[in-house]
Structure 1
Amino acid sequence: MTEKPRQSIGGLWNISFGFFGIQTGFALQNANVTRIFQSLGTSIDNLPLLWIAAPVTGLLVQPLVGHFSDRTWGSLGRRRPYFLAGALLATIALLAMPFAPGLIVAALLLWLLDGSLNVTMEPFRAFVGDMLPNRQRTAGYAMQTAFIGAGAVAASLAPIMLSHVFGVASTAPAGEVPPSVRLAFQIGAAALLVAVLWTIVTTREYSPGEMAAFEGVETVEADAAPIVAPRGGPLWLAAGLAVGTVVETAGLDKPLYILAGVLVAFGIAQIVHRIAVGKGKGDNVLGRILTDLATMPDGMRRLAVVQFCTWSALFILWIYTTPVVAQVAFHSIDPTSQAYADGADWVGVLFAVYNGIAALAAFLLPLLATGIGRKATHMIGLFCGAVGFALLPLIGSPMLLLMPMVLIGIAWSSILTMPYAILSSLLPQRKLGIYMGLFNIFVVLPQLLVSSVMGAVGRLVSPGDPRWTLGVAAVSLVIAGVMTLAVREGEAPPQ
């Protein structure tokens, strides 16, 4: 077995620069889609349902892209064809979304945007594992985090810079998206495409023969692992039907049907797969994905619990920060008012701060992980985030809101770096794509749960007042930090 050569700083830059563009798209989406939806007339309580696109597309797209990218070998390489296809589609969605004529079109474009960004992003996670030796992967993922932070800073600041520096209007009549947001999306589309093309042009992926030599096997394409047929399909199906029945009979909110539908779909998929295995036809895409899910390494299972709690908190942050800040620090709940627009612009600044801190912290994470270990580093980061989330709805001064964002930035840096550095050391090289995709299930499932449940809970707990949601997010991060202690790190020392 031959060890992969270490990459220079320039090599790490080229491998990860595409993430600058990807995160530009994600940051524009996270900071402005709530504003777009509210500009087009939706209420706070309906926001989670409209945001359902993000978790659903991630749940469907990333495992499939991971599965196929492990098996794609062509003139453009193994992962880069997916970089290109996703970037082109995401560029189209970014250009179109601010001009959506209504809520339905805007929601459909969010599906296209989030799905396309997922197509591009998922192979980038595996790309680091493909290109770097194990001992350099923490540094590789930290470089990705730095570009994620830089892209998010640029995208988050774009609307307020355009409005306050260049005089582009930040308000618009009811039913229209402000011109500053429209122009920011156009600039972001160009940045996304250029950054991803940079990585495609400046990197050369290893050939199948080279990858096999690195792993010490004859081929990286063959998957001789036996197919597993889980028996839990009927239970998942029954659980989904039960949730749907309760929603119908108790008159609960319609978004809960989505959660029921996911449970039903997963149960049916397992039943169909088990029938196919019984007929000797189970070795297909569905069979391989379900088998890899059922046989994931123990360390990955433990880390999945941490991810579930972590991303529940993050999705709450992205949905509710704009209305919380507008209410608490700018004293407005009217999306058409100038005060609300100022609050929404300030959220762009706050998001830029936490992403900027994340970019800076990324350079310190490898050093800290070397000293105290990856999981201890991650636990500290999550606890910092919990404190930041708890402080957000308690601070009425816009400037003082920068303080919790520093803590959230530290957490965000760790969230984007440490789980993937830990995970990549536990996985076989030929399955990096599929396992990174399956790992994303535990990123999007909590988002799906938040999207399905938070609106209904909000109407019961505090209608029209979302401040309590960030307290829930803080508790979730504390749980994630505690659960990090149960994760077993890989044998290779973190660097």
Structure 2
Amino acid sequence: MKKQKLGFWEIWNMSFGFLGIQFGFALQGGFMSRIFQTLGASKDEIPLLWIAAPLTGLIVQPIVGYLSDKTWHPKLGRRRPYFLIGAILSSLALFFVPYSPALWVAAGFLWVLDASINVSMEPFRALVADKLPNSQRSYGFVVQTLIIGIGTWIASNLPWMVSQFGVSDSADSGVITDTVKVAFAIGAFVFLLSVLYTIFTTSEYPPEDMEEFEREKAQKSNFIKDITNNIGSMPTTMKKLGVIQFFSWFAFFTMWSLANPALTEHVFHTPAPIETAFDMADSAQKLAFDTANTAFQKSSNLVGSAMGIYGLSSMAFALLLTFYTSKRRINRKFVHMGSLILGGIGFLMMNIATPETLKYCFILIGFAWGSILSMPYAMLSSSVDPKKMGVIMGIFNMFIVIPQIIAALGGINFISGLLGEEAINAMTVAGISLVIAGLCNLLITNKNAITYQIEEN
């Protein structure tokens, strides 16, 4: 099928739902560890509590990709039914997670939240490849990254923003602050609204041969066998991109799960107080705990705001690439390599950062994030069968979730422990991992993946 080139606003509309998805991911990534710590988790327990996120992605994304390839609804099309289901479930989970009364409840909500986000997210990746010709793939994924950057920055700043309007940062022991509750409620509303916007403003191409599509759909299929066959026939470029993805997502999972304990302790010098270290029956001891806890909550707001800066710099990075890729080709390989190495330097700089200079670390990390969200998918989509785009994108997600599972099961604690007991060592591990990911781009040799020749109008 000859796909029509789309204008900026058409690409913007089809990607706008990612604003809500990123609100969900940014609130989850920036504040779930804070919620876990408030409910009593130690910093060594946090990575394992996060295992819900990658495990649900490992299971959900290939299934959703496989099913969406075989779906056609006369009104909602192929991908949009999954946008809608995921948005409704994610919004409900976002609203309720800050009201968790115990650690196990919060961990359970993370399972529900991440599974629901994944139901929406994978079809959005596939939609770009469905709708755009090869010459606009980089452009499309970069516009998507621009929207993700906006969502990351706003959502990461929400607790700080609402605190400026007088919402309290103080709370009793084991209770989530009102700033976090209000921020997650706003996120739930934005998630649903932005996905609905894409559903109502974007159409999809129907199958070229509807009768053949229905015949194939009616045939018995073996999901496990089909997934296994697709994994076995994985293109070489996809495998090489998988190596890059492994080290990239190991680094970012480390940041999401451990940046709050690492930076509140090392940069702001306000670690989460341990309740058992205080005699809560003694009024002076209780006051000391409350003071330390409020300081931790306020510095956690500032860590969240600093993390939001990586969304802002990824947005600026994406904006520059949007203007450039709308008219010219880029060397995706070297853009991705340079961006990842800069992000790695940002993580390493956290060892010497102050509250005033922490933002510069996240500016560099934003270049890596902007590239991670666009370049691998642009390279991949130019190297696979378009009829299998959904399932391939789902399988590609394995290279994202497997390193996170390894990190959660003790990989972060073990490797950072080799450097010492300080929580900041986890950020050093993230930096080294991201530099390795950047250098692995030298493995990519497929010219069609590296840069695609712009088609003539």
Give the TM-score of the pair, scaled to structure 1: 0.83
Say whether residues 1:493 and 2:450 are aligned partners: no
Corresponding residue for residue 338 of structure 1: 294
Shift of residue 347, structure 1, vs aligned partner: 1.3
Match of 2:310 among 339, 344, 354: 354
Partner Cα separation in structure 2 for residue 367 and residue 147 of structure 1: 14
Counterpart contact for 1:46–1:455, Cα < 8 Å: no
Q: Percent identity?
A: 43
Shift of residue 182, structure 1, vs aligned partner: 0.2
- Measured against aligned partners, the alpha-carbon deviations of 1:33-61 in whole angstroms (never above 9, x if no partner) come to 00001111111110011100001000000
Q: 1:389 is matched by which residue type in structure 2?
A: F
Task: Give me the CA root mean square deviation.
Answer: 2.2
Say whether residues 1:394 and 2:344 are aligned partners: no
Counterpart contact for 1:373–1:494, Cα < 8 Å: no
Corresponding residue for residue 133 of structure 1: 133
Cα gap change, 1:222 to 1:431, in 2 (>3 Å): farther
Please list, as runs of the form range in 1=range in 2, the aligned pairs for 1:9-28 lying within 5 A after superposition: 9-28=8-27
Match of 1:311 among 230, 249, 252: 249
Corresponding residue for residue 178 of structure 2: 179
Please list, as runs of the form range in 1=range in 2, the aligned pairs for 1:147-226 lying within 5 A after superposition: 147-163=147-163, 165-209=164-208, 219=212
Corresponding residue for residue 402 of structure 2: 445
Please list, as runs of the form range in 1=range in 2, the aligned pairs for 1:34-113 lying within 5 A after superposition: 34-75=33-74, 76-113=76-113
Counterpart contact for 1:47–1:455, Cα < 8 Å: no
Partner Cα separation in structure 1 for residue 365 and residue 165 of structure 2: 29
- Measured against aligned partners, the alpha-carbon deviations of 1:375-427 in whole angstroms (never above 9, x if no partner) come to 111001001101001001221x2111111111111111111010001111111
Cα gap change, 1:366 to 1:143, in 2 (>3 Å): closer
Cα gap change, 1:459 to 1:207, in 2 (>3 Å): closer
Q: 2:3 is matched by which residue type in structure 1?
A: K
Counterpart contact for 2:60–2:118, Cα < 8 Å: yes
Q: Give secondary structure in 2 for the equivalent of 1:320.
A: helix
Shift of residue 465, structure 1, vs aligned partner: 2.3
Cα gap change, 1:126 to 1:455, in 2 (>3 Å): closer
Corresponding residue for residue 31 of structure 2: 32
Partner Cα separation in structure 2 for residue 419 and residue 459 of structure 1: 27
Cα gap change, 1:83 to 1:44, in 2 (>3 Å): same
Counterpart contact for 1:70–1:433, Cα < 8 Å: yes
Q: 2:371 is matched by which residue type in structure 1?
A: S
Q: 2:102 is matched by which residue type in structure 1?
A: G
Counterpart contact for 1:54–1:111, Cα < 8 Å: yes
Counterpart contact for 2:415–2:429, Cα < 8 Å: no
Q: Structure 1 stretch 327-336 or stretch 124-133: which is displaced more?
A: 327-336
Partner Cα separation in structure 1 for residue 186 and residue 270 of structure 2: 29
Partner Cα separation in structure 2 for residue 162 and residue 329 of structure 1: 23
Partner Cα separation in structure 1 for residue 341 and residue 412 of structure 2: 26
Shift of residue 482, structure 1, vs aligned partner: 1.1
Q: Give secondary structure in 1 for the equivalent of 2:72.
A: coil
Q: 1:105 is matched by which residue type in structure 2?
A: V
Q: Give secondary structure in 2 for the equivalent of 1:379.
A: helix
Counterpart contact for 1:375–1:489, Cα < 8 Å: no
- Measured against aligned partners, the alpha-carbon deviations of 1:259-311 in whole angstroms (never above 9, x if no partner) come to xxxxxxxxxxxxxxxxxxxxxx9950010011101111111111111000110
Partner Cα separation in structure 2 for residue 445 and residue 489 of structure 1: 28
Shift of residue 9, structure 1, vs aligned partner: 1.5
- Measured against aligned partners, the alpha-carbon deviations of 1:312-349 in whole angstroms (never above 9, x if no partner) come to 01111111111121112211222552322222111111
Shift of residue 96, structure 1, vs aligned partner: 0.7
Shift of residue 176, structure 1, vs aligned partner: 0.4
Match of 1:323 among 261, 265, 269: 261
Corresponding residue for residue 339 of structure 2: 381
Give the TM-score of the pair, scaled to structure 2: 0.90
Q: 2:235 is matched by which residue type in structure 1?
A: P
Corresponding residue for residue 241 of structure 1: none
Shift of residue 372, structure 1, vs aligned partner: 5.0
Partner Cα separation in structure 1 for residue 207 and residue 355 of structure 2: 53
Partner Cα separation in structure 1 for residue 309 and residue 417 of structure 2: 33
Counterpart contact for 1:315–1:447, Cα < 8 Å: yes
Counterpart contact for 2:307–2:362, Cα < 8 Å: yes
Please list, as runs of the form range in 1=range in 2, the aligned pairs for 1:389-468 lying within 5 A after superposition: 389-395=347-353, 397-454=354-411, 456-457=413-414, 460-461=417-418, 465-468=422-425
Counterpart contact for 2:329–2:453, Cα < 8 Å: no
Q: 1:125 is matched by which residue type in structure 2?
A: R
Cα gap change, 1:390 to 1:222, in 2 (>3 Å): farther
Corresponding residue for residue 227 of structure 1: none
Cα gap change, 1:222 to 1:355, in 2 (>3 Å): farther
Shift of residue 477, structure 1, vs aligned partner: 1.1
Partner Cα separation in structure 2 for residue 356 and residue 480 of structure 1: 22
Q: Give secondary structure in 1 for the equivalent of 2:190.
A: helix
Counterpart contact for 2:416–2:425, Cα < 8 Å: no
Q: 2:299 is matched by which residue type in structure 1?
A: G
Shift of residue 456, structure 1, vs aligned partner: 4.7
Counterpart contact for 1:329–1:343, Cα < 8 Å: no
Q: 2:174 is matched by which residue type in structure 1?
A: G
Cα gap change, 1:137 to 1:459, in 2 (>3 Å): closer
Cα gap change, 1:459 to 1:493, in 2 (>3 Å): closer
Partner Cα separation in structure 1 for residue 440 and residue 416 of structure 2: 31
Say whether residues 1:114 and 2:114 are aligned partners: yes
Counterpart contact for 1:374–1:489, Cα < 8 Å: no
Cα gap change, 1:312 to 1:455, in 2 (>3 Å): closer
Cα gap change, 1:151 to 1:494, in 2 (>3 Å): farther
Shift of residue 363, structure 1, vs aligned partner: 2.0
Counterpart contact for 1:331–1:339, Cα < 8 Å: no
Q: Give secondary structure in 2 for the equivalent of 1:399.
A: coil
Shift of residue 145, structure 1, vs aligned partner: 0.5
Cα gap change, 1:330 to 1:430, in 2 (>3 Å): same
- Measured against aligned partners, the alpha-carbon deviations of 1:137-168 in whole angstroms (never above 9, x if no partner) come to 111101110111111111101000111x2011
Partner Cα separation in structure 1 for residue 405 and residue 99 of structure 2: 26
